[in-house]
Amino acid sequence: MLFVPGFFAPGDMAALADVLWADLRRRFGIERHGPQTWRDQRPAQFKALTRSGVFDVLRPGLAALADGFFGAGNWEQHFGGPLVTFPTGDWAVPHNVWHLDSTPSDYANGLKIIRVFTFLEPVHPRGGGTCYVEGSNRVVMDRVRNAAPGEPLRSADIKAILQREEPWFRSLFSRGGEDRERRFMVEGGTARGIAVRVKELIGQPGDVYVMHPAMLHTIAGNALDRPRMMLAFPLVNRTRVADGNEM
C-alpha cells in the first residue's frame, strides 16, 4: 500500500464533497446536517454521478499516478466512485467479506491494475475506512507463484487457501476471538514467513492510498458520528488488458 499525503487539492475535495452531499439529498433525502436522516448506512448506485464527469477534476492526478506505474498513456480508467458509510454502531476488526478485486494469477507476471483511494472528508480510526491486511499482497503472490498446475486462484479460492493453510488468517476470518484489535492490528502476525497486520484507510481530504490488486481488504463499521466519505478509482494497465487479461 502506497500512501501519498495531500496529493489532491483540499479545495477540490471540498467541492466534490458538496456535490456528493447534494446527490445524497436528491436521491435518498439525506441531509448533511441532519443525522436523523442518515437511515441508509451504505448508500450506493453512484454510477450516474461518476459518469456525469464531476470527478474529472481529479484526472490529471490520477494520470500522474497511472503513468508512474504503467508508463505514460499506457492505461485506462475504469468507473469507480464514492464510498459512503454512515454511522453503524460498534466497531470491531471484521471477520467477513475479505476479498480481492481481481484474480491474482492474471498479474503474476506483471501489474494489471491499481486501485486509488482518496478522501472527501476526514476519516478517522473506527470511522468506516476500508480495512486491509498489510503484507497480504506479498503472501498472496507468493502462494500464487507456488500454486499447483491448474489450481483455482480466484478471490474466494485464495481466501479458502489462506484459511486452510495459515493460522493467522484462519483466526482473522473466524467470528469472535479475544481482543481482535490487539491481536490483528497491534501484534499482527506472519503468514508464509511474511509479516501481516490489519490496518484502516484513514486520512485527510486529498490524501491518497494506492492499493495493490492482491491486497486483501473488506468493508468496516463506522463507530463515529460522521460518515466515511471516500472515492475509489481503478486504473488498468492497457498492455495487460490487450494481452487478454480483461477485468
pLDDT (tens place) for every residue of the chain, 247 residues total: 999 999 999 999 999 999 999 999 999 999 999 999 998 899 988 999 999 999 999 999 999 999 999 999 899 988 789 999 999 998 999 999 999 988 888 787 788 999 999 999 999 999 999 999 999 999 999 999 999 998 999 999 999 999 999 999 999 999 988 899 999 999 999 999 999 999 999 999 999 999 999 999 999 999 999 999 999 999 999 875 544 333 2
Residues 6+ apart with CB under 8 A from 119: 13, 203, 204, 205, 206, 207, 229, 230, 231
Report which DSSP code applies to 121.
S
Query: How far, in Å, CA of 199 to CA of 184, rounded?
Result: 9
Q: Give the per-residue pLDDT at 245.
A: 35
H-assigned helices in the chain: 10-28, 47-51, 59-70, 136-145, 155-165, 167-172, 180, 238-242
Question: Which three three-digit cell numbers place residue 200?
Answer: 484502516
Q: Taking the mean position of all CA atoms in its chain, how far away is CA 96?
A: 15
- Structural domain spans, the chain: 2-242
Q: For domain 2-242, is the CATH number 2.60.120.620? A: yes
Distances (CA, A) of 142 to 105, 137, 160, 216, 227: 11, 8, 15, 14, 36
The candidate with the shortest Cα–Cα distance to 146, out of 185, 190, 181, 193, is 193
Looking up cell 453503524, which residue turns up?
A: 88
Distances (CA, A) of 231 to 116, 128, 132, 140: 8, 13, 16, 25
Query: How far, in Å, CA of 138 to CA of 40, rounded?
Result: 36
Question: DSSP string spanning 175-190?
Answer: S--TTHIIIIIII-EE
For residue 109, count CB atoms less than 10 angstroms from its CB and return exposed for 0-12, middle for 13-18, buried for 19 or more. exposed
Please state whether the predicted TM-score (pTM) of the whole model is above 0.75: yes
Question: Which three three-digit cell numbers place residue 224?
Answer: 463515529
Q: Give the per-residue pLDDT at 240.
A: 56
Q: Give the per-residue pLDDT at 79.
A: 77
